Amino acid sequence: MHKDYWTKSLVLLGCLFSTFTLAQTFDLPADSASFAVMVYDYESGLLEGGSVVNVSPDLISIPDTIPLIKTRQPPADFGWMKFDYELDSLTLFYGTIVWAGQGEILIPDSLLPVESFEADSMPIERPQNLVYWNYTGEVLTEDSLIQSGTRAWENAKLLAITHQFADDFYQAAIYFYPPAVGALDPTVAKWIVFLYRNPLFTGIREESPSLYPQEILLLSAYPNPFNPTTTIRYSIPENSPVTVTIYDQQGRQVNTLVNAQQTVGDYHLQWNGTDASGRQLSSGLYFCQVQAGRFTETMKLVLLK
């Protein structure tokens, strides 16, 4: 059973990863968004290998967080954790998490060796939006783990590839990956450092109105399914009255999150699974509808309890 599962899983992963372009020379094209995924030893914080990929260009800025969708399958005999690029649904990291055993990191192609990553002696500032995630993908708050992850970052910031990312607006996240569930085994745990940059926006979007979509762009909510809160992101192409409304499965309006005049640009808001009176809604399927002038977009949201 396990053998068949792994065979099928590896075939699936091969399909998922076939769309990637591996940048062996670490070229970061100006017309592409780019990711670096680097694996660091938990105890020493030393680099063990990495991968750099260039993905299709996206014109939407998400300045407050690295644009990754984190999906977790809780362990039974084993589980897994997957990170997808939010705007293109491309898998950047896939790692198994095994109960009372050791999992395996499966990322696009094979990791490049440490020798592929050159050092750079120039100092670099830590990005203000650097975030640490625990093994479930939530924000990490445990000080001892953050200190260990900081060792990985101190090494990552010395790499030439990190300096290349810092030439543009870039974002970074550090994920704690323990392949074995249960008591922490520091000999197998890893830190996964994600770097992201998109040179197609500068953060001053008013100067480049042509970068905006010609209709509403409603990005995937994160997390989704969610409990207790999800973040909804959207872009509107023109100044217009905007409403963001939540409906239940029967089409009944349960909450209005936005009802205001908004200017062209990117927006994000949070919904905590409540109705218009602040009462917590039951688990189930809901719909988020964004209407901006003559444009309307709708997406599904799943509330879990």
Q: Among 26, 183, 37, which Cα is nearest to 106's?
A: 37
Tell me the pLDDT of the chain averaged across its residues: 80
Residue 161: strand, helix, or coil: helix
pLDDT attached to residue 47 = 94
Least confident of 60-69, 99-108, 137-146, 198-207: 198-207
The pLDDT > 70 percentage for the chain reads 82
Among 195, 132, 130, 153, smallest CA distance to 40 is for 153
Q: Specify the domain boundaries for CATH 2.60.40.4070 within the chain.
A: 212-303
Is the model's pLDDT at 281 over the cut of 90? Answer: yes
Res 59: pLDDT: 59
* 239 or 61, greater pLDDT: 239
Higher pLDDT, 204 or 86: 86
Q: What is the pLDDT of residue 109?
A: 59
Residue 253: both structure tokens together:
């309006």
* Alpha carbon distances (Å) from 198 to 108, 140, 208, 214, 247: 20, 25, 15, 20, 34
Domain 212-303 has CATH 2.60.40.4070: yes
Per-residue model confidence (pLDDT) at position 300? 86
Q: What is the pLDDT of residue 205?
A: 36
- Omega cis (within 30) before 225: yes
Q: Please, what's the b/e burial string for 130-151 (b: 16 or more CB within 10 A of its CB; e: otherwise)? A: bebbbbebeebeeeebeebbbb
User: Which of 21-35, 167-181, 206-220 tops mean pLDDT?
Assistant: 167-181
- The pLDDT tens digits for 25-82 are 578 888 788 999 999 999 999 999 998 988 877 655 555 678 888 998 887 778 899 9
